[in-house]
């Protein structure tokens, strides 16, 4: 029997520490964007949501998932975020007490698109028919 039990942190979203630091960084990024500290017109003209930040195991890399409200101007927002990455990293370092300021990578949050795709799929006639048959069969038993 192995002495060291390795947990599958990828499946659970990371260790407790990664999750906690990711949440602190998420709040810091949201606050920076909300207060307009970047002074970038592309960012100040949009409301940007930051639903999740995932940290690497060594806490040196933060992957921030962002989405402009309504999904408009994604390309402009992503370009502006990447242009202001150094400034955002410096502002995070002042807010979050870490040994190293994490390098920030921005990705578009596609969860809303995926949820909409699943919702459309569930409304298709074939799925509705299957759901209807399942409820009929459970009532017969």
pLDDT for the residue numbered 1: 46
Q: State the pLDDT confidence band at 133, using cuts at 50, 70 and 90.
A: low
> Is the pLDDT assigned to residue 89 strictly greater than 90?
yes
Q: State the pLDDT confidence band at 114, using cuts at 50, 70 and 90.
A: confident
pLDDT for the residue numbered 140: 54
Pair 22, 9: CB distance under 8 Å:
no
Give 70's DSSP letter.
G
Q: Range with the lowest mean pLDDT among 45-59, 70-84, 86-100, 126-140? A: 126-140
In the three-class reduction of DSSP (H, G, I as helix; E, B as strand; rest coil), residue 66 is classed as strand
Looking at domain 9-109, its CATH class is: alpha beta
| Phi-psi region at 126: left, alpha or beta (left = phi > 0; alpha = psi -120 to 50) | alpha
Every domain of the chain and the residues it spans: 9-109, 110-141
In the three-class reduction of DSSP (H, G, I as helix; E, B as strand; rest coil), residue 57 is classed as coil
pLDDT for the residue numbered 137: 52
CA–CA distances in Å: residue 122 to residues 129, 130, 134: 10, 10, 14
Q: What is the mean pLDDT of residues 81-95?
A: 95
């Amino acid at each position: 029997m192995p002495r060291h039990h390795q947990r599958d942190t990828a499946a659970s979203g990371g260790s407790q520490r990664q999750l906690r630091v990711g949440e602190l960084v998420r709040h810091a990024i949201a606050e920076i964007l909300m207060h307009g500290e970047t002074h970038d017109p592309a960012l100040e003209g949009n409301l940007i949501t930051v639903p999740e930040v995932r940290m690497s195991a060594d806490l040196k890399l933060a992957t921030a998932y962002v989405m402009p409200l309504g999904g408009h101007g994604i390309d402009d927002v992503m370009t502006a975020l990447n242009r202001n990455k150094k400034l955002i990293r410096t502002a995070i370092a002042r807010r979050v007490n870490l040994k190293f300021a994490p390098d920030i990578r921005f990705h578009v949050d596609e969860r809303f698109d995926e949820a909409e795709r699943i919702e459309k799929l569930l409304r298709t006639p074939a799925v509705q028919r299957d759901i209807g048959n399942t409820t009929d069969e459970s009532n017969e038993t």
